[in-house]
Amino acid sequence: MQNVNEKGVRDSLRLFVISLALMCIFAGRQGFSQSVTITDGIINTAFQSGETAQYDLYYNWKFMWVKAGTGTISTTTSYYHGTPAYRVRILSRGSSKADKFFVLRDTLTSYMTYDLQPLFYTKTDLEQDKYRVRKVWFTYKNNKTIVKQQYIHSSGTSTWKTEESNQSVYDMASLLMRARSLDATKLKPGDHIKFHMTDGDGMITHSLVYQGKEKIKTKNGSGTFRCLKISFMEYDNDKQKDKEIGTFYVSDDANHLPIACFLYLKFGSARIYLSGYKNLKNPFTAKIK
């Protein structure tokens, strides 16, 4: 049974990082449609420098909920090669209990312009004794996104890949922050959208489905919130169709802050809840109590 628990904790923590970066994608659908070119910027209405949000991860194993890790999203103003930029950092770590089964540490850092176009992304992860680094450079030319990617394996060898797209391409952190400033008023239950993303080892496409609005009470006592509900779909090659791997809840206000996420794993299930926050740009009207 230890292998099952180890696998579940590992998958939970890995999806934890992905979830924190994707929970806000449905803050609006324009900006991710094919009609919007990569040169289109967007006005930031949702966050400001100094914003920080903390999260708790719980893993269900043998009908018990165990706290398996914590995560943080923080935003500051910075520079990238002399260009004023936002720097967004997503950190995750396993709890002391989870470390007994599987050690996992992830750090994601993204630089983006003030109109929220990605410039540079790096991700470092420690998985047991394996340490890996991923880097992505974004440039724009002739109405195309050019994505140069480096994946440094735990052995020390590097894999390089350069891809182009006539659509917007994001890393996980810039995707989150751009989506937070988009308009959610036009969404209807059942709306689907696909988006392009890279984690440093190639561009991939995922789908999300807007499910409507719902009130969520967090497990860790941080409050009750009005939220937008979104399903995260991943293509299943074996069954040749999309499968749902998570349900995300985003604050139904101008902040579009990630509140909760329910993950569906092969070896159990996991839940993520907002545990703390500071320096929000807008009044937190989605919080009921």
Does 235 map to a domain?
yes
Strand partners, 70: 56, 93
Does 261 map to a domain?
yes
Burial annotation 173-191 (CB, 10 A radius, 16+ → b, else e)? bbbbbbbbbbebeebeeee
Within 10 A of 192 (CB to CB), how many other CB atoms are there? Answer: 12
C-alpha distances (whole Å) from 90 to each of 28, 110, 151, 238 are 22, 9, 19, 32
Does 129 map to a domain?
yes
Does 285 map to a domain?
no
Does 65 map to a domain?
yes
Rounded to 5°, angle at Cα 33 from 48 and 145: 75
Spans in the chain with pLDDT lower than 70: 1-41, 61-62, 98-103, 235-241, 265-268
N residues, the chain: 289
Does 135 map to a domain?
yes
Does 93 map to a domain?
yes
Element housing 246 (H / E)? strand 241-251
Domain count, the chain: 1
Does 286 map to a domain?
no
The predicted structure's pLDDT at residue 172: 83
For residues 273 and 246, what is the distance between their CA atoms, to the nearest angstrom? 13
Q: What angle in degrees, to the nearest 10, is found between the helix axes of 2-22 and 172-180? A: 50
The predicted structure's pLDDT at residue 30: 39
The predicted structure's pLDDT at residue 27: 44
The predicted structure's pLDDT at residue 1: 38
- Give the structural domain span for 264: 2-278
The predicted structure's pLDDT at residue 161: 96
